[in-house]
């Protein structure tokens, strides 16, 4: 399961702040598809969704934020 932990860490890093590459790509795409969405709101939504996903997956697989 170490690879799952690494993948989750990578995903969280890609959405770590409003200018991280994952956040930026998400904002670019969602605002292209839905121009009425505020980019700052989209960035926050993307970051929160990724954090919630990682937290939920970590809790169901026994992964946590501590390095192995």
Contact in structure between 63 and 1 (CB atoms under 8 Å): yes
Question: What secondary structure letter does DSSP report for 22?
Answer: H
Q: What is the DSSP string of 23-59?
A: HHHHHHHHHHH-TTS-HHHHHHHHHHHHHHHHHHHHH
| pLDDT values of the chain reduced to their tens digit, one per residue, 68 residues | 567 788 899 999 999 999 999 999 999 999 999 999 999 999 999 999 999 999 998 887 765 554 44
Q: Is the pTM of this model over 0.85?
A: no
């Amino acid at each position: 399961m170490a690879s799952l932990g690494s993948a989750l860490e990578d995903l969280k890093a890609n959405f770590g702040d409003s200018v991280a590459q994952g956040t930026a790509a998400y904002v670019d795409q969602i605002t292209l598809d839905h121009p009425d969405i505020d980019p700052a709101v989209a960035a926050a939504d993307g970051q929160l969704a990724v954090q919630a996903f990682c937290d939920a997956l970590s809790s169901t697989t026994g992964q946590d934020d501590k390095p192995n």
